[in-house]
Amino acid sequence: MATLVTFHAHPDDECIGCGGVMRSAADAGHRVVLVVATGGEHGEIVADVLAPGQTLAQRRHEETLESARILGVARTEFLGYVDSGMVGTETNTAPGAFAAADVEEAAGRLAAILREEAADVVTYYDDHGGYGHPDHVKVHHVGKRAAEIAGTPRVYESTMNRDEMRTMIAGAVEAGLMGDGDGPDESDVESMGTPESQLTTRVDVTPWLAAKRAAMRAHSSQIAEDSFFLTLPDEAFGSAFGTEWFQRAGAPVGGPFETGLFADERSHPEGRVPSAS
């Protein structure tokens, strides 16, 4: 069996983009390790969820451990940096902010975990962090450098399929499944994710959608019960979150797509994913 280390910026990021591959890896007997860079201190808080005297960071730490349990994670580590907030805010350069951290120092922390775990696979974000958040961009630089230091053999950049998102969002708007403020709008998509022609790996995670959604629900300080994530009908949720996309370092683009993150998971002809059955 192999070891997968998946590196994320904030609590709740793990379940949205990699929750399926994490749970599927655990179910296959692989060891799954989750590393989170920050405490998510500057996330927007769902009303009335914090206990008296509880900080958001404390709550999000607890939520992450519950999400990790649902996703079959064997070990969860926090690197101890502070959430940098959204792009262009003064928190980007505040003391302890992840966005302002020294790449070599942060990569050394992550590389120590990769070495300790003898990681076979590591995931981090694409070079613009999926959508430009400063902590997500920093995850890319730190993750890439840590993999170099540790010599991790299989390196994947978690991303979104920009072409698929464009089609999906237009369809959701037309069907009335998304209103104002629900997820990205069509203009946002052009700066999000990666064009399909540049992707290498398409993982069908539909058998693990229930676990993925339950992990989202565990992050109740950030994902309200009436949110887009939790109110989508099952079919629409499957369309939105049933495939997880990656770019593998050194792999050819243009298909056929790999269908998993481990060396023994073969590519499938013409980029089609085998059915869940």
pLDDT in tens, the chain (277 residues): 999 999 999 999 999 999 999 999 999 999 999 999 999 999 999 999 999 999 999 999 999 999 999 999 999 999 999 999 999 999 999 999 999 999 999 999 999 999 999 999 999 999 999 889 999 999 999 999 999 999 999 999 999 999 887 877 776 666 665 555 555 555 667 778 899 999 999 999 999 999 999 999 999 999 999 998 999 899 989 988 999 999 999 998 877 999 999 987 654 433 333 333 2
* Residue with the two structure tokens 């060891």: 31
Is residue 112 situated within a structural domain? yes
Is residue 188 situated within a structural domain? no
User: Model's pTM, two decimal places?
Assistant: 0.90
Is residue 212 situated within a structural domain? yes
Is residue 147 situated within a structural domain? yes
pLDDT of the residue at 142: 98
Question: 34 is in which domain, residue-wise?
Answer: 3-160+197-221+244-251
Is residue 166 situated within a structural domain? no
- List own/partner pairs for 13-17 with CB under 8 A and 24 or more apart: 13/136, 14/64, 14/67, 14/68, 14/71, 14/215, 15/67, 15/71, 15/212, 15/215, 15/216, 15/218, 15/219, 16/216, 16/229, 16/241, 17/130, 17/158, 17/160, 17/244
Number of domains in the chain: 1
Between 209-218 and 56-70, two packed helices, what is the crossing angle to 10 degrees?
Answer: 160
b/e 191-215 (16+ beta carbons within 10 angstroms → b) = ebbbebeebbbbbbbbebbebbbbb
Is residue 176 situated within a structural domain? no
Neighbours of 188 (CB within 10 A): 13
Is residue 92 situated within a structural domain? yes
Is residue 258 situated within a structural domain? no
pLDDT of the residue at 242: 97
pLDDT of the residue at 3: 98
Q: Can you give the CATH number for the domain in which 23 is found? A: 3.40.50.10320
